[in-house]
Amino acid sequence: MSPFEVRRGASPVILGLPHTGTDLPPEIAARLNDEGLRLRDTDWHIERLYDGLLPEATIVRATFHRYVVDANRDPDGVSLYPGQNTTSLVPETDFDDQPIWRDGKGPTPRDIAERLAAYHAPYHAALAAEIDRVKAMHGTAILYDCHSIRSVVPFLFEGTLPDLNVGTAGGTTCDPRVEAATIQACRAARGYTSVLDGRFKGGWTTRHYGRPASGVHAIQMEIAQSAYLASEAPPFAYDGAKAERLRAVLGPLLATLEALAPDLAAAAPAHSFEGPAR
C-alpha cells in the first residue's frame, strides 16, 4: 500500500493530514505491545471532519500510523519543543508516557532509517510536489495542516487543551493575514475556546514548509478531540452532531483562507517552491 494518498484540487489551499493513517506493516505490528496496538494517539476521524468543506482543496494524507514513523517530526530527530515532554520521530512511548513496544522490540537506528526512506520521505515528497503545483497555478500556496489530540494529556500539557489551537511558530510560517483570519475565525466561534501559538505552535511540517516570503504559507490547526468525538477513549467514535457544529466553523475558515490567495500571490515571487534548505 502507498504510504500516502493525494487528491488534487484547483484551490490554492492544501490540507495536510500526517496523523490520520492507521496502517501498520505486519512486521511492525508484531513488535508493538497491547498498548501500542490500541493506536490511541491517532488523529481520529480528522479526514471525515474536513471532508467536503473546501471541495477544490488538495489533500495529502499519510496512510501509515505515527508509530511507524511520525510524518510531523524532523527527520533529523530534532525536538520540536526542547525542554518539554513530547514524542520522538519513531515514538518509544505514547502520549501518556506508556511504552508501546514489546520488550526488546523497540525501534533500532536501522529501523528508523528504513522507515524514513519508506514512509516519511515519500509522504513529504508528495506534499512538496503539491505545494509546487499549487503555487505554479496560483502564485501562492496555503498549507493547512490538520491535527487533533485528546483534550487532557497530562504528560504533554497541564489542564484541558483549548478546542482550537492555531500554530504559526510565532507568526513565522505564514503571512500575518493568514494568521489573523484563522485566529479571528476561531475566537468568533461561539462555544469554542481557542489559542494562538499555545502548547502547539506548529509541527515540523508547518515550520519546514512555511516560507511566506516565497509565497508558501503554512498553519497548523490542532483540535481537541472532545470537540467532535463522542468519547476520547476507545472506540473514539465520531459524534455527528458535534462534528457538524464544528464543520460550520471550519468550512468558512477554509473559504476565507482561499479568498486571501490573490492578495498573497500579488506579493509572492514567481519561482516555484523547491523546499527550504535543511
Q: Domain of 134: which CATH number?
A: 3.40.630.40
**Is 278 a member of any domain?**
no
Residue 272 has pLDDT above 90, yes or no: no
Residue 276 lies in a domain: no
What pLDDT is recorded for position 153?
Answer: 97
pTM value surpassing 0.75: yes
Tell me the pLDDT band of 270, cut-offs 50, 70 and 90: low
Q: Is residue 273 part of a domain?
A: no
pLDDT digits (tens, 9 = 90+) for 40-87: 999 999 999 999 999 999 999 999 999 999 999 999 998 888 888 889
Lowest mean per-residue pLDDT among 48-62, 211-225, 240-254, 258-272: 258-272
For the ranges 46-50, 141-145, 274-278, the lowest mean pLDDT is seen at 274-278
d(CA 110, CA 53): 40
Percentage of the chain modeled with pLDDT above 90: 92
> Using one digit for the tens of pLDDT, what is the confidence trace for 86-107?
899 999 999 999 999 999 999 9
Cβ atoms 172, 210 nearer than 8 A? yes
CA distance 149 to 72: 14
Contact 20, 72 (CB under 8 A): no
Indicate if the pLDDT at residue 10 is higher than 90.
yes
Q: How confident is the model at residue 277 (pLDDT cuts 50, 70, 90)?
A: very low
**Cell numbers standing for residue 19:** 496523523
Is 73 a member of any domain? yes
Average pLDDT, the chain: 95
Residue 130 in any domain: the answer is yes
Give the mean model confidence (pLDDT) for residues 134-139.
Answer: 97
Task: Please give the span between the terminal C-alpha atoms of the chain, in angstroms, as a whole number.
Answer: 29
Q: Name the DSSP class of 273.
A: P
Q: What pLDDT sits at residue 80?
A: 82
Q: CB of 49 within 8 A of CB of 246? A: yes
**Among 1-5, 79-83, 106-110, 216-220, which stretch is predicted with the lowest mean pLDDT?**
79-83
Asked whether residue 24 is assigned to any structural domain, the reply reads: yes
Is residue 90 within 8 A of residue 111, CB to CB? The reply is yes
Domain hosting residue 215, numbered range: 4-266
User: For 99-113, 198-212, 231-245, 263-277, which range has the lowest pLDDT when averaged over its residues?
Assistant: 263-277
- pLDDT above 80 (res 275): no
Report angle CA 254, 50, 275 to the nearest 5 degrees.
65
User: What residues have CB less than 8 Å from 78, skipping those under 6 apart?
Assistant: none
**For residue 122, is the peptide bond before it cis, meaning its omega torsion is within 30 degrees of 0?**
no
CA dist 138 to 148, 178, 239, 264, Å?
A: 29, 16, 36, 10
Q: What is the mean pLDDT of residues 245-271?
A: 91
Give domain status of residue 272, yes or no: no
Structural domain total, the chain: 1
- Strand ranges inside the chain, DSSP E: 4-7, 13-17, 58-62, 141-149, 164-167, 194-196, 216-224
Q: What is the mean pLDDT of residues 12-35?
A: 98
